[in-house]
Structure 1
Amino acid sequence: MNLKIKEKFPFFKENKDVSYLDSAASSLKLQTVIDSLNDYYVNNGTNVHRGAYKLSYLATEAFEETREIVSKYINSSLSEVIFTKGTTDGLNKLANSLANMINEGDEIITSELEHHSSILPWMNICEIKKTKLVYIPLDEEGRITIDNFKKVLSDKTKVVAINQMSNVLGHLVDVKSIAKLAHEKGAIVIVDAAQSVAHTKIDVKDLDVDFLAFSAHKIFGPNGVGVLYGKKKLLEEIRPFEFGGEMANSVNIDYMDFKDIPYKFEAGTPVIAEVIAFKEVFKFLNEIDTDKMFKHEIKLKDYALEQMKNIKGIKIYNLNSDSPLITFNIANIHPHDIVSILDSKNVYVRAGKHCNDLTHRFLKVNATLRASFSVYNTKEDVDKFISALNEASNFFEGFGD
């Protein structure tokens, strides 16, 4: 990618020597996003959907422009885009709202690849409703295959809750085929797209999933805001996630009438500045060639993989992953010790379970290291990463003498 891309991220002005390889956890922020946040707080600051005066009208207009650009980007209708606090918020609210449709004896299908925000809400619902959580068997690489999905799909299946891209192994799931099969059984399909949205163009009509959630902070946007997409018919059927201001048309002593979707799901004052600023992300993504961006990220990952294979004791868990992240360990060295050395060299990667116990249990390890590449990373970042890894490996090897 053109090095001018890096100039769009002010992080590097103060952190010139940092190789940031933790974008799977949270991406860096565009200057245009930061400028938009500041503009709202400095020059406006009013509420949306409420005031009849000019500034409130302008804030509402800017807020709804984001809904429009998001809907076009994911190929949905305006009414199918709900603003949330993020993926976790959206998936939790959705599970609680759908709980009324779940009965004892029903089955919820999920997988061992799930982030906690995708699986814990359904663990909770299953405990309350006395339903069964069913796991799709993973193949040797830790992938979800259609054949294995068919093995657990049944007439009892009520919900399928899976990710589109694993945050530990980086595998891309064929959610389109899964949705087709699940719908034949009358099941609802919910997709965690927190990881995939930064690397894969999402078309909800083509995928034909029922619900899909993602966060702004994974794709160069502000923290504290996300999107929950839902099919119009289902959103009209289910009850709101929460109750309060601006989601009701009228309230009587013994009756309440909700607004049309999506507003019946957006109770209270939203994170206005963050939603408005979020549109800058999609302007950026629409300006650049996202396919070229993804190829750049994969090229960096492949370049890193070739050199990592030469590091003594290296164990790479996702050599054939579909995303620009590498999950690995070095034999007999705890991931947090490796991170400490890399940190001293201004190379930032993730160490731990990445909010995903089940995948680590599948891998039979307590923790891993994860390096994730994004549009602003360069070949020089990879070189620094490999140099720091070699130094860490050599340093700790000395303790075994």
Structure 2
Amino acid sequence: MNREDVYAYYSLTGDLGIQLLGKYKKVIIYKALASVVLLPVIVVLEVLSTVLVPRKRKDCVCALGQSNYNEVSQKYDVDYHLGLVSFFSFFIRTIKAGNRVYCYDKYCILFFIDIYFTNSLTRRFLLNLLQRSMKRRAYSILLVGNDTKPNEKVHIIVARMLDIKSYVYQHGVWTGRYGSPYELDGWHADFLYVFDEKNKQVAITHGLDECRILSVGYPRRLFNYQSKPICINNPKICILGAAAHRSSYSEDIEELMRKLVMSLGSNYVVDYKPHPVEFKDNSFDIDEKLVSKVLPKSCSMHEVIGAYDVFISIGSTALIETSAAGKIAIQIYSDRYASLDMSESTACYRVNVDDILRFMKGIPNNQSKDRKIYINQGLVFDV
């Protein structure tokens, strides 16, 4: 395992890759310090988890990340490996659900030494630790939420050494045009689970092997909302961020957003909910001065869906959640930025930014679309 394999995610061209690597290095310092201080507690809880939750089935899934929580079929035992915050937040809930839970951030001190001191010995030690751990727990499947970042890449590399199949579950709707490893899942894991046939064709178009792609449906967690009826006379509008500032077409999207708000601003109250990554980077896709308010990070999708009638985005996965809850979901585009069409496979409208005001005035005739969406009933693996 060489250094280039582990940190390839940050080898992006231009300033973007350098910026992301810089942020990762800062975060890893805090995580390393926290994991060292909390290590005794983490170890005790992990042992407790192992003792309290016995194995029931032959095949056991090693699932990395909170995004995969409760998406796996009940045919398998599942060990959830979570980050530091999620480990403590979800520990009791996970145990009660009959699953073991471990903390992958306890390895952050090794990542810290490796990335700051380019220490191949530390990298080999990390590799051996993970190899022994995964072998001892007898995993037959590895499930990751993305397959490009260092932690996930190391687990995939170790899984291959142990002949464990790795799967990545598409973590969001793809609307970008370029299909780079930064934008698209599936470049490193053995298999890629996608939401539907439309997303499968996107992956194939960008060069992924069709034999490695399986269409399994949208995550069940996106469809847990019930909300109030739409107010069509004076609709409340929320624009959903999509972390486009990280992309190579950020300037086009900034112009699109400006045009969108200027078109709506004098006729409607428009608020903005940033993508979680926008809070991390402290960089929004929209000028804060153009909207009525920017919703705080603490504002959940459940609260937002209950409070607004119309949701607009260039391509946020949250459009699926809002349309499933019976709200009007609109994917916006322009002549300068024409993202991949979400309306072909999801229950949202696709509207040119120049026509947005005309569309909004016709809302009484444009209620939320009724389109059958393929929902994942539990991931099943070929073992």
TM superposition score category, shorter chain reference: under 0.3
The two structures have a TM-score, normalised by structure 2, of 0.28
Q: For CA contacts below 8 A with separation 6 or more, give which structure has more relative contact order.
A: 1
